[in-house]
Amino acid sequence: MSPSRLSHMQALKALDSLYQREMPQSDSSLAQAASYHFKNPGKSFRALLALSSGSALGLNEQDNLHWAAACELLHNASLIHDDISDASTHRRGQESIHEHFGSDMALCLGDWMVAKAFELSARNSLHGGVLTALLARAMQETCSGQISDITQRQCAELEEWQRIAKGKTAPLLIAPIKGAAIAAGLDKNIHSLEPQGSLEQLVGLCGLAYQGRNDIDDIIPSSHRSSDLDGRKPNLVISLFAQQGIGSDDFNTWYQSEDNIQVSHWQRRIASSDVILQANQSVDYWLIQADQLVITLPVQLQPVAQGLVASVKEQSIIKRQGRIA
């Protein structure tokens, strides 16, 4: 069955079969950690984005699956490594790899996934080199965005927040679409894919909306402790409050201190302030802007781009209604 006829569930099943075939050798202790991780592979959003792009462009099934798995594995590697730096104990409803197996195993499994992603992308007989370079650049940009997120200790200005948010999310959302276009021969030059509009701008706006929604969820409900306030990490809501919230001078003084005792106090203040509405309005505005850019893309990619915007929009609506954490 061709990728264009694969249903959502069939696509996920095909990806799972590929993962099982590509697992580390059974005599390696990495195999146990990989098997544990893939018990709950998540939504595979980037893989599905690659598959839908490849389907729209007529990419053959094997190349499509290999590229989709490569994009998803790279994203998974970044999550495993992020959990180490964030000291996150859980991921996708189970203990994180570093919590369950230790940080050494988590580092090695993440590295293995990066290497496997490059191998899978290189299997494309015509475009393997360009696809692998595209993934390498996406990972470099993601790492730069992530380290900016980790090392930012001053309360980020809104412009700086946008730069960091795009850097963390956009590269691994752009790559699945660009790579499918390259593999399908739409454009062999990864620097000039958008003859009329800007795929990067559209995906960047989706990245802002996605990260903005996550930032709102980090602050409300205030019944859970904000990890961004606790760790002094860039957050849209926090930046808005620091700029114009009532009591912002006192907040900025506290934010630059080592005091974490008042995290709950300031979280409640921020959660009950007008900046929550402003943050929601910003998310809506970025999604409207992204929607308007869809028609500027090559016609083959317009349904894919529309699906991306719709997915982020749906996620935002669901989270706003409080049905998921």
List, for residues 236-278, the tens digit of each pLDDT value. Answer: 999 999 998 888 899 999 999 989 899 999 999 999 999 999 9
Report the DSSP beta bridge partners of residue 197: none
Answer with the one of 188, 221, 250 that is the final residue of a domain: 188
**What is d(CA 269, CA 264) in angstroms, rounded to the nearest whole number?**
9
**What is d(CA 65, CA 223) in angstroms, rounded to the nearest whole number?**
42
Same domain, 71 and 122: yes
Answer with the one of 167, 188, 209 that is the final residue of a domain: 188
Residue 266, CB half-sphere, CA atoms under 13 Å: how many? Answer: 27
Report the DSSP beta bridge partners of residue 66: none
- Which residues touch 173 (CB under 8 Å, ≥6 apart)? 46, 49, 203, 206, 207, 308
Q: Phi and psi for 90 in degrees, rounded to 5? A: -135, 150
Q: What is the pLDDT of residues 10-42, one digit of tens each?
A: 888 899 999 999 999 888 889 999 999 988 878
- Give the CATH number for residue 215: 1.10.600.10
Domain range holding 143?
A: 31-188
Is there a contact between 267 and 226 (Cβ–Cβ < 8 Å)? yes
Q: Is residue 281 part of a domain?
A: yes
Q: Is residue 204 part of a domain?
A: yes
**What is d(CA 160, CA 234) in angstroms, rounded to the nearest whole number?**
9
Same domain, 63 and 150: yes
Q: What is the pLDDT of residues 90-122, one digit of tens each?
A: 888 899 999 999 999 999 999 999 999 999 999
Answer with the one of 188, 205, 225 that is the final residue of a domain: 188
**What is d(CA 70, CA 58) in angstroms, rounded to the nearest whole number?**
19
With CA atoms as reference, report the closest residue to 118 among 104, 103, 129.
129
Same domain, 43 and 184: yes
Q: Phi and psi for 94 in degrees, rounded to 5? A: -145, 170
Q: Is residue 295 part of a domain?
A: yes
pLDDT for the residue 2? 39
Same domain, 203 and 116: no
* Element of type H or E holding 291: helix 275-293
Same domain, 180 and 228: no
Structural domain count of the chain: 2
**What is d(CA 147, CA 313) in angstroms, rounded to the nearest whole number?**
27
Same domain, 182 and 215: no
